[in-house]
Amino acid sequence: MAVACSVKSKVLSLARLQACCDDARRRGLTIVQCHGCFDIVHPGHVRHLEFASRQGDVLLVTITADREVSKGTGRPLIPERLRAENLAALNCVDFVYIDPNATAEQVISLVKPDVYLKGREYEANRDPRFLSEREAVERAGGRVMFSSGDVVFSSSALIESSAEHLDPLFSGRLEQLFSTHDLESSRLDAIVDRIAQLRLVVVGDVSIDTYVHCTQSDGLPDGPYLTLRPGSTAGYDGGAAAVAKSLAGLGAEVTLVTALPSANRTMTAMAPEDGGLREGLTGAGVAVRCVESGQPVYERTRYLVGRQTVMQLDSGESLALDESARRRLVASVFEQVRARGRRRPVDGVLLYDGGLGLFTPAVLDHLVPRLRSRVDRVTCDVNGRRSYLMRMRGTDFGCPNEQELREAVGNFSDSLPAVVWQWMDAVRAGAAVVTLGPEGLIVFERVGESGKRGRGRSASNRQWKTRLSSVHIPALGSTATDTTGCGDSVFAASSAAAMAGADMVQAAYLGSLSAAIQSRRYGRVPIDGSVLRMEWQRMAAGRLQVLGTVAG
């Protein structure tokens, strides 16, 4: 029938429901009833309800009240009033009723539906609750039908896939973050919109990540070694190339300055759609400026069985650039940051030292201080033991993991804040975003005597020697398919956000969201702004349990 009225007016009291159903029956209309929790309305629900509406003239949906939902701790995720209004917003639904009982038996006896529709999974169900409902329908002269089940989803499965929302410790920490920092959607929207207006330069070494998906061989090995049968192979850009692609995915105008083999040199394993590293970067919207290295791109090949990496094979040597090539590299960086003609000034530079030989102490000592006088924001990240985190002097912040930081400082015994302070003091950095793997990350900032957090060039030693603030952001993804590249995702997104005007906690939160998305994918696939928006909306939904939101 598709009643034309407001959403809230479709949600009826019991007396009003009975009156509406009696009126429909007097008019000779067929009543169809569906019943369930409908915690998260997903495509399977919509198909089910559209099918139900075609079985009669009036579609009534009854939902179980919050107190009677027996799906485990933290359920339902969505309060009953919001669940009812979500359903009422569907054009195919005529009336919605919140049933305070454990089963729909009582309301069935009152409404006497002509058709009672359940999902296909109930056809062989012997649950006593469903059997009592079925008997009530048949006693009233109605019939039970089952929908096709052509699209199968489960609210429980969807919610359990985000089980961190139901963890009280996680939820409490998330709510504390939201209550003390501006992480609302409107603010994050503004930051991501601003990122799309930035002009950024990435400087660093590149690599290739190749994934070989294998199956175990049928034969028994003659000794203690692996026997694998290789299957599909996929290649992804790594290192600074992955960072540049991530920034371009967020809409920024990006230039990558690096070292590559000459254009006519054969590349190693690339993703089929790329055809070559340069072409892949260009296709992703990244401008490439490079010096020729005369060496193949460094490649890491990972062999997987199922989701488990069983072996990694590294092939390639550290870059051996002569002095002339290094001078050209530095000159190329400054050529990009120089505003000329109609070209906009650069909003920020991201330095990525993958430990593959592009940077030397002399290059960084020459490059970074001069960048500081030309660019408003400079950030840094490293990967591996051969990188030079201690040479990133004057950067706004760095994004190392704890192990990289401790190795750079040479301190494996003191507390993490003490180690962070050592690094920030040595390089005069304004902040640090230290990633902790499954434990999330910690944002460290120097704090002056006034209590204000400061950037690297403005606070004196005296003001902050013992004043270091820290904010912990838990890992925002509960299930990881592949953690490769998560740290680079944090670096790219948090740097872009900071350069777009975000404070450090906002920037790190967006970086953590980006890492959560990356961890659910194989390989380093760029994340665009729309996907990032969906992720923070997913996080915001998890706060409903903590806030106890109930629509009146």
CATH class in words for 165-545: alpha beta
pLDDT band for position 275 (cuts 50, 70, 90): very low
Judge whether residue 221 has pLDDT over 70: no
Q: What is the pLDDT of residue 364?
A: 95
State percent of the chain over pLDDT 70: 84
pLDDT tens figures, 538-549? 777 655 443 433
pLDDT band for position 441 (cuts 50, 70, 90): very high
Average per-residue pLDDT for the chain = 84
Q: Which of 19-23, 370-374, 466-470 has the lowest mean pLDDT?
A: 466-470
Judge whether residue 450 has pLDDT over 50: no
Q: What is the pLDDT of residue 1?
A: 59
Would you list the domain boundaries of the chain? 8-159, 165-545
Q: What is the pLDDT of residue 148?
A: 63
What is the C-alpha R_g of the chain?
29
Judge whether residue 431 has pLDDT over 50: yes
CB 341 within 8 A of CB 193: no
CB 326 within 8 A of CB 320: no
Better-predicted residue by pLDDT, 65 or 1:
65
pLDDT tens figures, 137-189? 999 999 999 886 544 445 554 454 454 444 666 777 777 888 889 998 889 99
Better-predicted residue by pLDDT, 502 or 447:
502
Distance CA 240, CA 263 (A): 18
State percent of the chain over pLDDT 90: 53
End-to-end CA distance of the chain: 27
Q: What is the pLDDT of residue 465?
A: 55
CB 290 within 8 A of CB 261: no
Omega before 261 within 30 of 0, i.e. cis: no
Q: What is the CATH number of domain 8-159?
A: 3.40.50.620
CB 43 within 8 A of CB 147: no
Q: What does the pLDDT average to over 507-523? A: 90
Judge whether residue 552 has pLDDT over 60: no
Q: What is the pLDDT of residue 268?
A: 41
Token couple for 387: 């990188």
Q: What is the pLDDT of residue 470?
A: 93
Distance CA 485, CA 242 (A): 8
Q: What is the pLDDT of residue 339?
A: 64
